[in-house]
Amino acid sequence: MSEARQLLDQPLPVGSEGKLAGGWWGIVALIVTEGSLFGYLLFSYFYLSSQAERHWPPEGLPSLLLPSINTAILIASSVFVWASEYCLARKRKRGSVVMMLVAIVLGALFVGIQLKEWSSKTYGMTSDLYGSLYFTITGFHMLHVVIGLVILLLLLAWISFRYFDEKRHAAITIGGIYWHFVDVVWLFVFTTLYLFPYM
């Protein structure tokens, strides 16, 4: 009993602390299921493209320049989200706000470029099977980017309200990992839709 007593009688953190918070575990579980969703989307793409009777993609190989730049922008925004949390953990709240702001601007830039990419396509969602796949997959990703941006905006607001400090900022950790997930998934989407046809 005294052993148990010793085990129990220690100071413990209270509430949402970093990776001990329920929310951190929750977001990891959510990422598992969202990751599976993209897995099934890409499975559908490969399943249908492998059985395509005409050449694939029907409109010829996609141009790589703009999407590659856009990929770099999205990755950069992930770095800034990480930096924002890094600053906060080192008591540099202003730095944290600035980093988050940059991350959001980069994320928004990604959305803008992606919209331009969409409008430059000669096909639409309903014109053929490839169009259905292309716009559904990138559309799903776009939806996740937009949700991610809303989350980043909330985080920005909360940091500027000085809700968080070096000890307590689980929300940033949790929101941040979601954004990293959205960015990593893009690498798979990009590889499938843009690089795979070249192979």
164 binding another protein? (CB under 8 A): yes
What's the 3-state SS for 38-90?
HHHHHHHHHHHHHCCCCCCCCCCCCCCHHHHHHHHHHHHHHHHHHHHHHHHHC
CB of 149 to another protein, least distance (A): 12
Report residue 107 as tokens. 């994320």
Comparing C-alpha atoms, which of 153, 160, 146 is closest to residue 114? 146
CB of 76 to another protein, least distance (A): 26
- Out of 72, 91, 115, 163, the only residue in the binding site for another protein (CB under 8 A) is 163
d(CA 130, CA 186): 18
12 binding another protein? (CB under 8 A): yes
Torsional sign, CA 60, 61, 64, 67: positive
37 binding another protein? (CB under 8 A): yes
Of residues 97-116, those binding another protein (CB under 8 A): none
41 binding another protein? (CB under 8 A): yes
- Out of 133, 152, 182, 193, the only residue in the binding site for another protein (CB under 8 A) is 133
How many residues bind another protein (CB under 8 A)? The answer is: 57
Q: Is residue 161 helix, strand or coil?
A: coil
Neighbours of 58 (CB within 10 A): 13
15 binding another protein? (CB under 8 A): yes
Which residue has 């929300």 as its token pair?
171
- Out of 111, 168, 188, 194, the only residue in the binding site for another protein (CB under 8 A) is 168
Chain residues that interact with another protein, rule: CB under 8 A = 1, 4-5, 7-17, 20-22, 25-26, 29-30, 32-34, 36-37, 39-41, 43-44, 47-48, 51-54, 125-126, 128-129, 132-133, 136, 150, 154, 158, 161-165, 167-171
